Chain A
C-alpha cells in the first residue's frame, strides 16, 4: 500500500501566535476547513510546544527570544506571517529556520500551500539532520576501524585488505555495524581471546 503524496492535515494541532484581528479570523477559518485543531494558549502560562504540530507566527511582532529551543533548531514546522517585508525581519525569520511564509493580508488561498510546504520542508530537514548525525558518528568511528584493522593484521599476520574483509564479514554475519564490531574486537583483550571473539561472533 502506497502512502498519499501529501498528508491529510486533519487533526493536526496548530498554534497561532498572532493578534486576534482580521488576518487571524481568515487564517483560523481556513485551518478549521482543513480539519486542523487550533490550540488556545493559556494566559500567563508557557506555550504548550509539546502539543503543537505546526505553528504560525507574526514575523513582524515576534520578539528575539520567541522560541524556546536552545540549539535554535525548531521542534515543529514554523510558518512566518509577513506584512512588512523588512530585511531585518526576513533575516531574523530565516535564522529561526522557518519552513514557509504566509503573506498578509491572509486570503483564502495560500494557507494550504504554506502548510504543505512547511510540513514537507520540516520532514526533509529532520531526515537530513538525522542522516548527518549518523554519518558524523561513523566518521568519528573510522579511527576505531583503522585501529582494529592494524591489530588484526598483527595478530593474524595478514595484510590490511584481508583484515578489513574479515572484520566486515564478522559484522555482516552478526548483523551489527562495522564500527561496533571493531570496538568489540579492540575491547576483547589478549591475542587469543581477540581472535576467538572474531570466530565466536561468526555464525556457522
Chain B
C-alpha cells in the first residue's frame, strides 16, 4: 500500500475512465432505439444483440472485476482450492447450451423480460413469481457492492485516498445507465474486455519471464504453502475433493439464475446466438484460469500484502511500469462498471415487471415500465454505494455468499418447466422456502462458511451448502407435487405451449 499518488498511473487511469464515460452516454443512440419508450429497449437493449455483442456483454458481466481481484486472492491464500472457479466456469457452458436457448425462446415469444416473468407465465402463480423476483433482487445487491470493493482495491493502490473516487465513478455510472440502459454496458464491455485481454495476456507472458518461468512460479508458491501449512498447497487435500467439486457444480448451476446473466441471455437476438456463445465464451474461462495464476506469481515476486484483495494490484504495481499499471487498473475498474450496470438493470427489470406491474400498477404503459426501471436502477446503485461506504466489507462478502445460496434455490422454478410440467407451483414455492431456510440457517450456524458437513459411517463429509439446500429443495418439491397430483389431479392452469 502506498502513501504517495502514482501520477502516471492515475493519468492513464483517468483517460480510459473518461473514454468509457463518453461511450456510456453516446450508447443511447447506438443501434438506434427509443430507449425511454419501452422496457425492451432500456432493459434489454432492444433484444437485438448478435453473437459478438453478446459475447462481450456476457463475458464482461459474468467475469467481473471482483473475480479478477478475488480469485487470485483466494489462490494466493490457499492454493489449489481457490481454483474451483475454473471447473465452475467450464461446466457452466454445457448447461447454458442446453437450457438457455429454450428459456430465450419462451421469453422472446411472450415478451418476458425477467426470470420471474417466465415463472409467472409458466405456472400462473404470483407467489412463485414474487419469490423468484425477490431472490434475484436481494442476491444482486451485495454483488454490486463487491464490484465497488474491486474498484476500491485498485484506486487505493494508486495512492488515492478517501472515498470520493469511488463515489464519483459510481455517480457517472448511475447517470449513463439511467440514460442509455443496457446499451451502455454492452458498448463499454468492448473496451473493458479488450483491455483485460491485453493486461492478462501481457501479464502471463511477461511476469513468469521476469520471475524465472512457470516452473519457478509454481515452486515458489509450493514453498510458501509448505511454510504456511494447514489446508493449503498446490494440490487438494483429500478432504477438499468434495468441497471443490460441489462448489464448482453449485456455482455453475447458480450462475445463469442471476438477473445480470439472464439479462444478457434475454437481450440476444436468437437462440442460436446463445448456442454460439456457449461455444465461444469459454475463451474467458481460459483467461480466468490464467488470472488465477497471478496468485502464485505474487508468491514468486515476494509480494507482501495487508489483505489478500491487494495481491493483484500490488503485483502489477511492483512488476510493471507505472503507465501499464495504470492501464491495468483502469481495465479492472471499468471491469467493475459493466457488471454493476447490468446487475442494476437486471434488478430494476425484476422490480418493474414483477413487483410494480404485478402489485402497484398492472395497467402500466411500456414507456411507464421503462421509466420505473430507470429510477429503480438509480435507487439500486445508490443502495449498493451506501452499503459499501457505511458497512464493513465483510458484510458484502457474507451476503454475496448467501446470495449465491439463495439464487440457486430459484433453479427448480426457472429451469424444471423446460423439461417437465409435472411440478406444481405450490410445491416449488415450498421447496424454495425450505431450501433457503435450511441453507441460510446452516451457513449462519457455521459462521458464514460456504461449507456444511454431514457425518456418515463415522466419516465427515464437507460440501457446498447451497448444493445441499438445492437437493432438499428439490426433494420437497417432488414430494409435495406427488401428494398434490394425488389429492387434486386437475392442474390449476392449462398447459401453455
- B partners with A: no
Residues in B lying within 8 Å of A, measured CB to CB = none
